[in-house]
Every structure is written in C-alpha cells, then in structure tokens.
Chains A and B, each alone.
Chain A
Amino acid sequence: MCTTCGCSKDAKATITKFKGTKSLLLKPAGSFALKPVEDPNRVHLEIKILAKNDEIAAKNRSYFQTHQILALNLMSSPGSGKTTLLERTIRELKGQLLIQVIEGDQETTNDAERIRATGCPVVQINTGAGCHLEAKMLSEGISALAPSNNSIVMIENVGNLVCPSLFDLGEKAKVVILSVTEGEDKPLKYPYMFKNADLMILNKIDLLPYVQFDMAKCVEYARQVNPKLRIIKLSATKGEGVDERYSWLRKEGSSLGIVPIKNPSNRPGTHLWTNL
C-alpha cells in the first residue's frame, strides 16, 4: 500500500477559520443513504478501505496473544528520544523482562545498531519512501525476529505524528512519545495520534529549565483530545521518572501473563542477537 509520502503536495489544503474547539450544536445531519439500487450494474460494496491491513493486524494480534507477547507500538516525531528511551529500558530491565525490538525507519540501520549494542534481539524494517509501518511489514518483521514467548516486543514506528496513527499493527497498546523541546500544543496539532494512544510519555523533562514548555497546558491539551490518556513524565537520559514507566510495563505485561525472568542466565533469545 502506501509506500510513497508527499503525494498530497499539490492537492488543495483545507483552510479553516479559527473557531476554537467548541462544538457546533447539531443541525439536521442530512442523509447519506443512496437511493435504492435497481440498476443491476450498480454494486453496493461497503468495504473498509483499510480492511486488508486490519485483517493482517488481527493475525499479528492473535500471534502475540498466543505467545504471551506484549507488543507496543511506539510513535513520535523524529528526535523525541524513542531509541534513547528504549536503550535505557532494555539496560535497566535486563534480567527482569525479556525485551525485543522491531525498528522502523525510512533508511539506515543506525537505530537497530544502537539497540543491538545493548544485547537485545532486534530487526530493522526500512520503509524506503514510506512514512509509517503497516501490519504486513510488522508481520514480516515478526518472522525475521521470531520473538520468544513470554516477552515484550517494542515496535519503534517511523518518526511521524500523522500517518502511523491510521494503521493498526496488531499491538496491545499505542504509546506516543512527546519531548518538551517540541512544544506543548502538539496534541491539538496532531489530534489523531494522541486520540488513539493509550499512553503518552513526556520525555526530556530534564530540559524544562531551558525551554519554553508549559507542562500543565500540554497535559490539558492531551486530555482534551483523549480524556483517558495515561501520561508519564520522564527523562530518558537522566533517568528521572523512568520507574513509573517500568511499573506500567510490568503491569501491562502481567495482564497478559508475562512473568519476570527468574533465572536471567537461562533467558532465551541470545541466539537471536545477530538477526539484523
């Protein structure tokens, strides 16, 4: 499917006068129903356009459930600190939870190399011109990674706050990472991403004294878009707040029956380290 980004560059953008986020009271909504079909050449289809992706995502989800794997779809703009957070999480939870990574980037294997340096099983998916991961790409990534049972698979999506929100991969939860250097209004600017997320990680909080970022406003905007959004504030480089993230991971994992590793020396996965 979508392998080329930027196709809408010549299309007319929607220009909207600023109206705030207040609702419009409902007018008669009008009917979109079509007239009864009599012409035999007219065929009612009612097919979901993303049905094929959703079907593969459902298969991925069922694979993860069967194998007791917690799959997390990590999404953010480029440079928010996804890989740094992953590196720290893998290092600090080593011997407790088995983590494996599927890296998505347009080009290079740089991020996978960084993950591999931590000793974690990893595969890299390069999407070429593609601006997001799709369920089929993940399915191929799973085949290459062959993740161990009773583990966590972190899927690092392509850095982009728009397109990845549209494509279900089969994950258990969507995690959006926003760093304080990006501006507090991102949840309102990219509402689809934040609306569909289960958890928002506010990263780089150690930089708060040096940037103009209104934390309270950011939380307010995020909850406006997604009232049930769980929010964790942390610094992936300094370590502040990461324990809350680990508790969340353990809780999500235990809800799937994933148990902490009792004997780290016997943990599986070592043979997979060269999967790159």
Chain B
Amino acid sequence: MHELGITQEIVEILSLRANELQPNARIKRVVLEIGKLSAVLPDAIRFCFDLCTEGTPVEGASLQILEPQGQARCRLCKSEMLFEQPFGECVCGGIDLEWLSGGELRIKEMELE
C-alpha cells in the first residue's frame, strides 16, 4: 500500500541527516522502529529498501527493524495488556484503552561508515 512512499521518505531523511553530519558520508546500518499496530508492514519496507536506497548514501546499508508490540492500559481497571489489533477488550470487560506502544513509526538510529 503506502510502504514504498514511506521507504522513500526514510531514505530521504537518512541521506539528508548523514550529509549534514559529514559530507559524502555513507550509511552502514539503519535501525527503524515500526510498531505492530502502525499499519505499516516491515516486510514491505524491507522489500522496498534495496530499491529505494540505490544510488543514495544509504545503498548497501543493513536494515534492522524493531517491532514494539501493541500495549495498552485499561482506563477502567488500569491493567496493562498486549493486543494484536488496534482495539480490544480488557479482562475486566473495559474497551476504553490508553495505547502505550505499538504505533511507533520512527528512524531510531543510523551508523556511518
């Protein structure tokens, strides 16, 4: 769906930041954080990564994707739970949830050569 555009955006941000730090720098490793409830598929990002990095300072970099789980706190009983979808029911029956993690869509780190 939208993963190609998102990968292009990632490569653009990385290239810009690397160049700011060190002109003509090359990036060796990239760490992304894509939460399990972010509506973005890590496999699709991996698929697009090699294509999008071609001819950029990111070309050839290894890609590591961290996938935080969907974690929420029930506003009724304050229990914390893991969910595999962006909604759900607490063991107490509550459905009003405060989301703590799972929606991340971040570039965490890069390593220059």
Contact = CB atoms under 8 A, between A and B. Distances in A.
Interface of A: 1-8, 10-14, 16, 19, 21-27, 29, 32, 34, 37, 39, 41-52, 130-132, 162-163, 165-166, 191-192, 195, 223-227
B96 A48 contact: no
A25 B40 CA distance: 24
Nearest to A16: B84
B5 A49 contact: no
B68 to A, nearest CB: 6
A21 to B, nearest CB: 5
Report whether over half of chain A's contact residues are helix, strand or loop; otherwise say mixed. Answer: loop
B97 to A, nearest CB: 9
A166 B109 CA distance: 23
Contact of A27 (B5, B13, B82): B82
Interface in B1-48: 1-6, 8-10, 13, 17, 21, 28, 31-33, 39-41, 43-44, 46-48
A32 B33 contact: yes
A43 B111 contact: yes
A29 B69 contact: yes
A132 B111 CA distance: 33
B63 interface: no
Nearest to B13: A47
Contact of A192 (B13, B31, B39, B81): B39
Contact of B88 (A2, A21, A41, A132): A21
B86 A225 contact: yes
Given A45-B107, A50-B105, A192-B39, A21 B1 contact: no
B39 A166 contact: yes
Contacts of A5: 1-2
